[in-house]
Each structure stands twice: as structure tokens, then as C-alpha cells.
Amino acid sequence: MELVLEKPPRPRGRSAGSQRTRQNILDAARAIFAEKGYSGANVGEIVALARTTKPMVYYHFGSKEELFSAVLEEVYAEMRSIEQAVAPSALPPLEAIRRLVEVTFDYHNENPDWSRLISVANIYAAQHVSSSPTIASRSSVVLGLLEEVLARGVREGVFRGDVDPLHLHLLIVSTCFYRISNRHTWKAIFGRALDDPADAAAQRRMVTEAVLAYLQPETPAP
């Protein structure tokens, strides 16, 4: 049974040392939750990896539940920052979508813990996402970016006009996510690793071309 400690007051302002401790705890929690899931993760293991104490975990995060929510906030914020860094509104529509697909593919490829953490969150019906005050509001930004790019593409005649931004987001993310989340079962069944570095460039191109092909305006029948 885990030791239950009385929670000290939560910090209002943080020194540089306190911020480092908080980030060390987050980094350790991210690794442990990704490896062992939520129920399998133990605060003691997180403490050991972060080289801190249980009181410090509860000081910064309050509880294991809040700590997992904070980890999810961090990984979602990373993804949203990468998407916004593309500055799609400053690019021609086709190039904007191409770059968004490419950075999404690259993030999943380089951060396999993302798919594991999101899979864990879904096991718990996203309760740790729903309890976050920031994940949904920050994530709505990507739909706004896609909506703006789609509208410009339609006006310029390079995109079809019936695409839902949420459906486009699904199309972009799904293959990027699947090739990491299902790589072990895929290899066991088909004998080939989905995340084989030798295939990454071809898969990246495939996903990009599939998304752009979907967005092409329909050619009128002769």
C-alpha cells in the first residue's frame, strides 16, 4: 500500500531550483507511466528516478492522478507547439498541410512514449484528460489552424470544399500514431517492424501524399 502523506500547500511561485525539481519529477513520471501504465506506476519509482522525495511530488502535483494529468498536459503541449511552429497561416495551403503532416509524423517517430501515454489515457476513458484545465482548450487551436488553411485552399481551388477539420486531423494523426502504438503486434504478425528506420522516409511520404490526395478537389465528370 502506498504511503499517504498530508499534502503541503501548493507553491504559488517557484525558484529556479523548485522548477528543476518539478521538471525532474515530470520527466521521471513520463518515463514510468509510459513504461508501466497508470495502475502499474508507483510513486516510489518516480521518486527514485527523479532523485527526490514523496513530499516533493505531492508538493508540486498534489496526487498521482494530478501528476499523470500534468504529464499528459506536457505531451499535448509539445505536439501543439510543434504544429504552431509550422506557422501554417503563413504558407501556401498545400505546403502548410504537407509540413503539418511531416512534423506530426516526425514527432510520433521520435517520441514513442507519446502513443503509450495516450493509449493509457484512453484505457481510463480519458478521465485524466478531462480533468485538465488546459488540454482541450490548447488542442482546439490545431482545428483552428486546419480550418484556416482549408478555407484558403478552397478559395484557391486546390482543396475540396467538404472537409471537416476534425476529420482531417484524424487522418493526419491516425497512421502516425498507429505505426508506433501497434509496432509490436505488427511485427509479431507480419514479421516486419512498422517503425523500421529503413522504412520511415517512405512511410512519411506515403502519409503526406495520402492526405494531400484526399484534399484534392473532385474532378467534374466529363
Read off the pTM.
Answer: 0.87
Nearest to 26 by CA among 66, 79, 67: 67
The answer to whether residue 7 sits within a structural domain is no
The answer to whether residue 222 sits within a structural domain is no
| Domain hosting residue 32, numbered range | 12-62
CB–CB of 138/80 below 8 Å? yes
The answer to whether residue 84 sits within a structural domain is yes
The answer to whether residue 91 sits within a structural domain is yes
Helix, strand or coil for residue 64?
Answer: helix
**What pLDDT digit, counting tens, does each position of 8-56 carry?**
445 455 577 789 999 999 999 999 999 999 999 999 999 999 999 999 9
**What average pLDDT does the chain have?**
91
The answer to whether residue 114 sits within a structural domain is yes
Do 194 and 90 lie in one domain? The reply is yes
Please tell me the predicted confidence (pLDDT) of residue 219.
72
Give the three cell numbers for residue 219.
474532378
The answer to whether residue 2 sits within a structural domain is no
CB–CB of 32/64 below 8 Å? no
Do 21 and 126 lie in one domain? The reply is no
Do 94 and 32 lie in one domain? The reply is no
Query: For residue 118, what pLDDT band results from cuts at 50, 70 and 90?
Result: very high
User: 9: which DSSP letter?
Assistant: P
CA-to-CA distance for 160 and 219, rounded, in angstroms? 10
Give the three cell numbers for residue 197.
528506420
**What pLDDT digit, counting tens, does each position of 128-140 carry?**
999 999 999 888 9
